[in-house]
Amino acid sequence: MSVPTHQAPKRAGRTRERGTWTPQLSRRAGILLVTPLVLAVLLLVVYPILKLLYDSLTVGAGPGNYVDAVSSGAIRRAFVHTLLTSAAVTALSVGIGASLAWTLRRARHRVATALIWAAVLLPFWMGVVVKNYAFALLFAREGLVNEVLLGLGLVDRPVQLLYTTTAVIVGMTYTMIPYAVLALYPSMSAVDLELMNAADGLGASRRRTFTSILLPLVMPGFIAAAAIVFAISIGFYVTPVLLGGAQAPFIATVIGDDIFTFFDYPRAAAASVLLLAIALLAIGAALKAVGLKAIRGGLG
Amino acid sequence: MTTRVGRTLDGIFSWTGRLVVGLSVAFMAIPALFIMVLSFSNDRHIGFPPETWGLDRYVEVLTSRTWLDPIVLSLEIAALTALFALILVVPAVLGMKRGNLPGGTVLESAAVAPMLFPIAAYAVGLYAVFAEADLLGTFHGIVIAHVVHAVPMVVIVLSTALDRVRPELELAAMTMGASRARAWIGITLRLLTPAVFGAATLAFVTSFDEAVFITFLGGPGLVTLPKSIFDSVQYGVDPSITAVATILMVVTAVLMLGATRMRKDVR
């Protein structure tokens, strides 16, 4: 009895003395390791955003930059167009993404699962510019879509598809579907399929199972996915230029023109701050509703 | 009666579901297949279906400077981006996860946040900072911007991977006489290697494919591959883009699949 009590403190004492038997780093070493990233984040994430905010309030007309930006018809129209289009893109990509993510969740056939995953990830592999180029060719006056429409007798002469809002929505939805699927998949794969069987066994219709069991379980994933897709969508630059043409520009294009064509950096800064604020509002609302973990989980 | 209505609704539900999924998969696949088919056409103008087949477009891409120069520039920038992103993030993730620092979550969120910024607004912020630091239109500036662009994904991949490496393994190595450095290099980093490669690949691909920062920050002198395709699509269509696009797609797909596979290897 006396032997163990004698030995135990001795062993503990030796551990403490050497002080190395812990996976925990000393605080100083930890700080040293994170310093480069902290500096990079301060210099290249925090500082640019603060500078943008500061510039938008001090250079040019000062706070009047915002009056300038909001009273400009071009910027107002671009904002409305950007937000409405992005809302449509969000609804479509989350909707389509949900059906794909759920199919992937339920799928048992390995080849089918692999094929669907490949289809979902294709936009990531294609490159930003390339996929828009593909749609530009598909939507052209003599493009494949018009050929098919004419062939089916749905239209009797080629319709204008390229340089329309529809083209922009299709192109952006194509780009955002993988984000939506990847954001939705974690919450869907966490759903216990036995719950659905149980509901079925207890006599619930599929619709009832869907609304009372599945929907509440996957709702956080939906909200996270919608916020992520919307925040990314409103900053789009390439797709609206290549598929939307000049008549209905996105806010990104107007900001770019302000800087490079009209040399009006103050107004561009004010418009950028407004754009950023809208994105942060969307993300902030989602954070409040579902928490950091769901958003972080939605990012991969 | 309700059950019959319910069953009919169920049937409609399930078939619309299948239809939606089938159409979605077709929608995702068609643009890629379309470009691939067109790249093997020898027609002078783009038309579908092609009238003559061949490899003319690939020969043109691989022999003309208009395409080779941007490809080389993009490769250089992407390689440096991947390297610097790893140098910043690998130690930081180890420090955050093993250092028990206050504010680790804050740092991780701040590093990931740019992923959710509307890229055009963020580009204007960087534009202002780069103008101040004389980095506009420079190679270094673009590498810095691309590193910023790649860091969020690298942080996500590595921090998820490190969460799966149990600290007990390091502890075990240290109790058996290994120094901390030895335990980290021999156990932790070795287990992380696939994730590090995966993260580097993602960073590389992100940079190789980046088209917005280069437009805002690159000036007229720096023409990367995406910029070159962008300009070419905007100001007239060069059919050899289809070949560039196909090469790009296949290479990216192989790299990304490799990266995903490697990420899964971390257990």
| pLDDT: which is higher, A258 or B11 | A258
3 state SS of A24: coil
For residue A1, pLDDT beyond 60: no
pLDDT of A35 = 92
Tell me if A282 is assigned to some domain: yes
Residue A49's pLDDT band, with cuts at 50, 70 and 90, is very high
Residues 6+ apart with CB under 8 A from B43: B50, B51, B52, B239
Same domain, A30 and A155: no
Tell me if A6 is assigned to some domain: no
Q: Which residues of B touch A258 (CB under 8 A)?
A: none
Same domain, A175 and A38: no
Q: Which residues of B touch A128 (CB under 8 A)?
A: 209-211, 226
Same domain, A149 and A38: no
d(CA A208, CA B10) in angstroms, rounded, equals 10
Do residue A147 and residue B229 have CB atoms under 8 angstroms apart?
no
Query: Which amino acid belongs to residue B225?
Result: L
For residue B243, pLDDT beyond 80: yes
pLDDT of B204 = 93
| pLDDT: which is higher, A96 or A209 | A96
Q: Which tokens go with A14?
A: 């030796």
For residue A13, pLDDT beyond 80: no
pLDDT of B137 = 94
Same domain, A180 and A286: yes
| Mutate which: A20, A65, A137, A142, vs B, most B CBs within 10 A | A137
pLDDT of B138 = 95
Domain boundary residue among A36, A58, A80?
Answer: A58
d(CA A106, CA B18) in angstroms, rounded, equals 12
Residues 242-261, chain A: which have Cβ within 8 Å of B? Answer: 242, 251-252, 255-256, 259
Q: What is the pLDDT of residues A204-232, one digit of tens each?
A: 887 888 888 888 888 999 999 999 999 99
Look over chain A and give the mean of its residue pLDDT values, rounded to a whole number.
87
- Best CA proximity match to A48, nearest among A250, A229, A269: A269
Task: Mean pLDDT check: name the lowest of A46-55, A226-235, B31-40.
Answer: B31-40
Same domain, A31 and A68: no
For residues A285-292, average pLDDT? 89
Q: What is the pLDDT of residues B71-91, one digit of tens each?
A: 999 999 999 999 999 999 999
Tell me if A9 is assigned to some domain: no
DSSP state letter for A244: I
pLDDT of A207 = 80
Do residue A51 and residue B128 have CB atoms under 8 angstroms apart?
yes
For residue A18, pLDDT beyond 60: no
Same domain, A145 and A264: yes
Give, in order, the Cα–Cα distances in Å from A75 to each of A250, A265, A268, B228. Answer: 9, 14, 10, 28
For residue B18, pLDDT beyond 80: yes
Q: What is the pLDDT of residues A97-137, one digit of tens each?
A: 999 998 898 888 888 888 899 899 888 888 888 889 899 88
Same domain, A143 and A289: yes
Please give, rounded to a whole number of angstroms, the shortest distance from the CA of A265 to a CA of chain B.
9
Tell me if A85 is assigned to some domain: yes
Tell me if A167 is assigned to some domain: yes
For residue B6, pLDDT beyond 80: no
Same domain, A35 and A113: no
pLDDT of A211 = 85
Partnered with residue B41 across adjacent β-strands are B53
Q: Which tokens go with B141?
A: 């500036």
Examine the predicted complex and report whether its ipTM is higher than 0.90: no
d(CA A81, CA A83) in angstroms, rounded, equals 6
| pLDDT: which is higher, A21 or A54 | A54
CATH number for A76? 1.10.3720.10
Q: pTM for the whole thing?
A: 0.88
For residues B136-159, average pLDDT? 94
Tell me if A5 is assigned to some domain: no
Same domain, A135 and A160: yes
pLDDT of A19 = 52
pLDDT of B1 = 44
Residues 6+ apart with CB under 8 A from A111: none
Q: Which residues of B touch A89 (CB under 8 A)?
A: none
First-to-last alpha carbon distance for chain A, in angstroms, is 54
Q: Which tokens go with A151?
A: 């062939």
Domain boundary residue among A58, A81, A107?
Answer: A58
For residue A2, pLDDT beyond 80: no
pLDDT of A23 = 65
Count the domains in chain A: 2
Do residue A24 and residue B13 have CB atoms under 8 angstroms apart?
no
Do residue B24 and residue A100 have CB atoms under 8 angstroms apart?
yes
pLDDT of B3 = 65
pLDDT of A20 = 52
* Residue whose structure tokens are 């510019």: A129
* Residue whose structure tokens are 């509703």: A289
| Burial of A276: CB neighbours in 10 Å, binned 0-12, 13-18, 19+ | buried
d(CA B199, CA B204) in angstroms, rounded, equals 9
Same domain, A30 and A91: no
Same domain, A205 and A293: yes
User: Is A114 within 8 Å of chain B by CB?
Assistant: no
Domains plus CATH for chain B? 64-265 (1.10.3720.10)
Do residue B124 and residue A37 have CB atoms under 8 angstroms apart?
no
Same domain, A133 and A221: yes
Do residue B248 and residue A31 have CB atoms under 8 angstroms apart?
no
Owning domain of residue A32: 24-58
For residue A169, pLDDT beyond 70: yes
- Best CA proximity match to B154, nearest among B211, B87, B212: B87
Tell me if A8 is assigned to some domain: no
Question: Is the separation of the CB atoms in A144 and A116 below 8 Å?
Answer: no
Tell me if A7 is assigned to some domain: no
For residues A25-51, average pLDDT? 91
Q: What is the pLDDT of residues A265-285, one digit of tens each?
A: 999 999 999 999 999 999 999
Give, in order, the Cα–Cα distances in Å from B214 to each of A89, A225, B93. Answer: 25, 28, 28
